[in-house]
A and B are shown apart, each in its own frame.
Chain A
Amino acid sequence: MTTFDELLPALAEIIHDRWPALEPFLPILINRDLNGRIRLILDASHQPTPGAPANHPLLQLAAAIHTRLVPHVGEVEQILLFEEQLTALTKASFPFPLAGRDGQALPGVHVADRLAQEARWESIEDESTAVPRVVYYSIKGGVGRSTALAASAWALAEAGKRVLVLDLDLESPGLSSSLLPIDRQPAFGITDWLVEDLLGNGDAVIKDLFALSPLSRNGEILVVPAHGRDPGEYISKLGRVWMPSFQADGSRQMWSVRLSRLLGELEHRHQPDIVLIDSRAGIDEIASACVTDLGANIIYLFALDGLQTWTGYRLLFQHWLQHGVTQKIREQFQLVGALMPTWHDQPQQAESELKEQSYNLFLESLYDEQPAAISTFDDLYSFSFALEDSNGPHFPLFIPWNQSFAAIQSHHARLEGVDSRLVELVFGELIADLKELLESWAL
């Protein structure tokens, strides 16, 4: 009996072993359905005629797959599916190449994965060019991500910037309460817009989707919460945000595209200098939308030095590697060492251990191999960094643990009247990085 992880290696072997005979039938799209069942989709012109001999290469292929992959296939005659518009279908299904026995991609053979969710980690939107967008993401919750975002917004507003903050931790909302007192919460939130938009009614709520934080003195902090002052039937609304919407011509927009449209509308309406987005933690559908679909210019990866953190990031990085999309996203990443212990015998030791773990993670999946010598143009621009190279995204921005910001119920109360030197002491590296982004943007 095969199990899920054995399917693709087994298929690679079966196809590889029949390689010359299968070449005339390329391209082949391996379809792995919602239940993990395999079918092969080929162009309709290759469909064997009824009564074709049993030694027809495609019939032999189907028989071999059936024998090997039960129960991950249906009946033998259901294994091959023939479609008229295979090229269009392939493009629409985020295919990735199937690696053969030697690890090299088998030309013309791709895998389409059908998932129960629509947002996909491997579909990566181009970086925003209108307004810098920064996503705060963590594999685990409770690492001080939202606090760091609130402090960043505060510091940028102190520097006179107009900051738009989005709480996209829809399943565990709360960022807005850190930046707004209860009586200043707006009437609606992102969830309301996503639900109204399904019926083309987004305009009914968009005007009341934000509130100005009283914490901003020199600049402005515009907060867009997950829900409004009265959350209403929040659970019922949350269960609908994933729906696609349909345009008049019948074309569909999946929910993350709708979210991206909302962000565009908010930017157009409020003209911020920068957008800070609080993502949901973990390998989650909302997180996937935040990290890959919103055109982020920087994605802060919050990390505690622990097995859970590195295992989680490794799973994601390997997924991008498998789908061949690392180049599209790796330059946006920046690791953040969160809640760094300050009571350690040697605080530097904790920092250096985290840095090393981070380096190993980036080295094995996102960094190019270091060229031995620079001999070509590509070598000059290879994406590779040494452990101590602070330009590398693995080189952490550190946020020391600080009692003043730990376990506080209301960041709003905490940030009100906060000493800017304390914010600088704790979040200085992060804030400097954001200011650098804004400076480079101005150029």
Chain B
Amino acid sequence: MTAANLPPDYLDAMERHWLDAELLFHLTPASLANADQLYGLSAECGLKALMRKWGMQLNHNNIPVDSLDRKHADHIWVRYETYRQGRSTTLALPTTNPFDDWSIHHRYANRNYFHQTVVEGHMRGAALVKSLVAQAKHDGELP
């Protein structure tokens, strides 16, 4: 039997993934592999908070109806712009996707693959999404 999905709270999820990613990144020794995954998840949740506001539909089980929305940071970065178009340019994303080299499948990989410079790039991407969400709150796009 499959458990029913809990209703999403994308903003809270963005925040908690970010906080945990930061904890892991700044541990001694750092837990880079898991921090890396969480930076990606944090960015995905922040972007989906806005996509949801702009019309992303969920099915009865709280999963996005459109399969193009059932993706992670590496794809959602581009997908986000589809929802944003025609809206405030203050919420535009850079065309270069910092999560191009991030994948949800990296959760199966050995920790030695995760180098600090790569993880830092994903940290910057997640931080950018956080500042975008803050801007959206000021603009009145998010509560």
Contacts and interface: CB of A to CB of B under 8 A. Distances in A.
Interface of A: 31, 33-35, 37, 39, 41, 74, 78, 81, 83, 93, 112, 114, 116, 118, 198-199, 242-244, 246, 248, 250, 252, 254-255
B38 to A, nearest CB: 19
Interface of B: 88-90, 92-96, 98, 124, 128, 134, 137-141, 143
Nearest to A78: B143
A91 B94 CA distance: 23
B140 A33 contact: yes
A417 B95 CA distance: 50
A345 B77 CA distance: 68
The 4 lowest CB-CB distance pairs between A and B, nearest first, are: A33-B140, A246-B94, A114-B139, A34-B139
12 contacts: A34-B139, A78-B143, A93-B138, A112-B138, A114-B139, A114-B140, A116-B88, A118-B90, A243-B92, A246-B94, A246-B96, A250-B128
Contacts of B96: 246, 248
Contacts of B141: 34
B138 A114 contact: yes
Contact of A255 (B89, B98, B134): B89
B47 to A, nearest CB: 15
A33 B138 contact: yes
A34 B94 contact: no
Contacts of A83: 134
Of A112, A118, A244, A250, most buried by chain B (CB within 10 Å of CB) is A250
B140 A34 contact: yes
A31 B134 CA distance: 12
B89 A243 contact: yes
Contacts of A254: 89
A41 B134 CA distance: 12
B88 to A, nearest CB: 6
Nearest to B143: A78
Contacts of A74: 143
B136 to A, nearest CB: 10
A83 B141 CA distance: 17
Nearest to B98: A250
Contacts of A252: 92, 94
Given A74-B143, A78-B143, A244 B138 contact: no
Contacts of A39: 138
From A93, A112, A246, residue with most partner B Cβ within 10 Å? A246
Contacts of B89: 118, 242-244, 254-255
A81 B95 CA distance: 30
Contacts of B98: 250
A83 B130 CA distance: 13
Contact of A198 (B90, B95, B124, B143): B95
A34 B141 CA distance: 8
Contacts of A35: 140
Contacts of A255: 89
A64 B138 CA distance: 21
Nearest to B88: A116
A37 B92 contact: no
Contacts of A248: 96
Given A198-B95, A246-B96, A250-B124, A31 B88 contact: no
Contacts of B92: 243-244, 252
A33 B88 CA distance: 12
B129 to A, nearest CB: 11
A81 B128 contact: no
A53 to B, nearest CB: 25
A118 B92 CA distance: 12
Given A246-B93, A246-B94, A252-B94, 13 more contacts: A33-B138, A33-B140, A34-B140, A35-B140, A78-B143, A116-B88, A118-B90, A198-B95, A243-B89, A248-B96, A250-B94, A250-B98, A250-B128
A347 B95 CA distance: 58
Given A118-B90, A250-B128, A31 B95 contact: no
Contacts of B140: 33-35, 37, 114
A240 B139 CA distance: 21
A26 B121 CA distance: 36
A36 B17 CA distance: 32
A81 B137 contact: yes
Contacts of A81: 137
A73 to B, nearest CB: 11
Given A116-B88, A118-B90, A31 B138 contact: yes
Contacts of B139: 33-34, 114
B22 to A, nearest CB: 14
Nearest to A116: B88
B135 to A, nearest CB: 9
A201 to B, nearest CB: 11
A37 B142 CA distance: 12
Contacts of B124: 250
Contacts of A116: 88
